[in-house]
């Protein structure tokens, strides 16, 4: 049985409370104090009977917490939080501010297995999946330090769908009306393209927004950039996307990082149009953010505008995601860069 109460759903907390001979409604106090008041100790859940608190503690139940280690602020308003986990792992979380609305970029793993060559996190050794409690706690710290969170994007360190159960459990907790109460349409889960997990997501009761990182319109180019492409061809990923769209009718965002003279030609833009033809998608073009040891260069602004223009002229809804937080290595692809060993 799960001993960290921060990992538990409302239903699981009710079952736990009931197992000690108490009425289920008391679990509501536990849930609210953990996910709204953000308490870190059972004794702080004062509405619970003292006997129940003692019983839970005696059986080893706890409320976990991650520790803020560092804060870094970019002049553009971006903040990067660095957190220490209980076992010594370290993760990074980014708060983006736009016209009074706060978007939090969450990490789901310490390190990453995917090994994308243009991503600093992909060059770090994979350490482990984060627990559900460690994922939601990033939100609670950011709320305390930076204000109300309006949007969540699971686009930080790690591959979210490689930690499927904990990620979806965290989505349920953060969406809960007695917790952070963040609307499901304001939560985006990203993946580099794991077809089985995309289909599994389609079968879930909750459907956050889905973003799929393609970064190339053909397998040969993708092989140069993304190790996962050696296991899953674009045809297999596109088939999973079609299944997802058929089951959910939810628009999918395609993420595409523009890398100079690798994936940014006019011909590749036209290939991407053909790849996405007939699919309910929009495209986010990302300016690549270099880091020490990265073998690639970002596409120049003129090339980005030309690539975006081709997509737009073909009727694809296209947005260029501008660089944010580069001075503090908080931009897309830079998380964990400060811990990379120099080449």
Distance CA(112)–CA(120), nearest Å, equals 10
Distance CA(98)–CA(271), nearest Å, equals 33
Question: Token pair of 266, please?
Answer: 């006019």
Angle at 322 between CA 317 and CA 326, to 5 degrees: 155
Question: Token pair of 268, please?
Answer: 């590749």
Can you count the helices (H) and strands (E) in the chain? 10, 12
Q: Which helix (DSSP H) or strand (DSSP E) does residue 68 occupy? A: strand 67-73
* Of residues 87, 35, 30, 25, the one with CA closest to residue 57: 30
Catalytic residues: 92, 332
Query: 341: Cβ–Cβ under 8 A, 6 or more apart, which residues?
Result: none
Angle at 250 between CA 245 and CA 255, to 5 degrees: 85
**Residues 80, 22: contact at Cβ < 8 Å?**
no
- Compute CA 115 distance to the chain's CA centroid, rounded to the nearest angstrom: 16
Distance CA(300)–CA(259), nearest Å, equals 9
Question: Token pair of 254, please?
Answer: 């395609």
Distance CA(256)–CA(305), nearest Å, equals 14
**Residues 332, 292: contact at Cβ < 8 Å?**
no
């Amino acid at each position: 049985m799960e001993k960290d109460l921060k990992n538990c759903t409302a239903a699981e907390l009710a079952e736990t409370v009931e197992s000690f001979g108490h009425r289920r409604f008391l679990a509501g106090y536990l849930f609210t104090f953990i996910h709204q008041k953000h308490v870190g100790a059972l004794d702080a859940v004062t509405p619970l009977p003292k006997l129940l608190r003692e019983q839970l503690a005696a059986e080893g139940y706890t409320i976990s917490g991650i520790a803020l280690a560092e804060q870094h602020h970019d002049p553009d308003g971006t903040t990067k939080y660095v957190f220490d986990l209980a076992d010594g792992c370290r993760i990074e979380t980014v708060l983006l501010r736009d016209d009074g609305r706060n978007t939090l970029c969450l990490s789901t793993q310490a390190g990453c297995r995917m090994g994308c060559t243009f991503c600093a996190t992909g060059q770090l050794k994979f350490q482990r999946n984060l627990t559900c409690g460690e994922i939601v706690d990033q939100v609670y710290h950011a709320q305390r330090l930076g204000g109300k969170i309006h949007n969540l994007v699971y686009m930080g360190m790690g591959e979210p769908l490689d930690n499927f159960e904990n990620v979806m459990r965290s989505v349920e907790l953060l969406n809960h009306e007695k917790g952070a109460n963040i609307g499901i349409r304001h939560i985006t889960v990203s993946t580099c393209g794991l077809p089985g997990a995309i289909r599994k997501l389609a079968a879930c009761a909750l459907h956050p927004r889905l973003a799929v990182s393609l970064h190339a319109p053909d397998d040969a180019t993708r092989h140069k950039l993304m190790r996962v492409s050696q296991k899953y061809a674009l045809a297999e990923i596109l088939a999973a996307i079609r299944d997802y769209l058929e089951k959910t009718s939810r628009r999918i965002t395609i993420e595409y990082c523009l890398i100079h003279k690798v994936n940014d030609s006019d011909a590749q833009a036209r290939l991407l149009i053909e790849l996405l033809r007939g699919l309910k998608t929009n495209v986010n073009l990302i300016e690549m953010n270099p880091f020490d040891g990265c073998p690639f260069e970002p596409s120049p602004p003129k090339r980005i505008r030309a690539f975006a223009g081709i997509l737009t002229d073909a009727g694809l809804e296209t947005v260029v995601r501008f660089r944010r937080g580069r001075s503090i290595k908080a931009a897309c692809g830079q998380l964990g860069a400060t811990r990379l060993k120099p080449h």
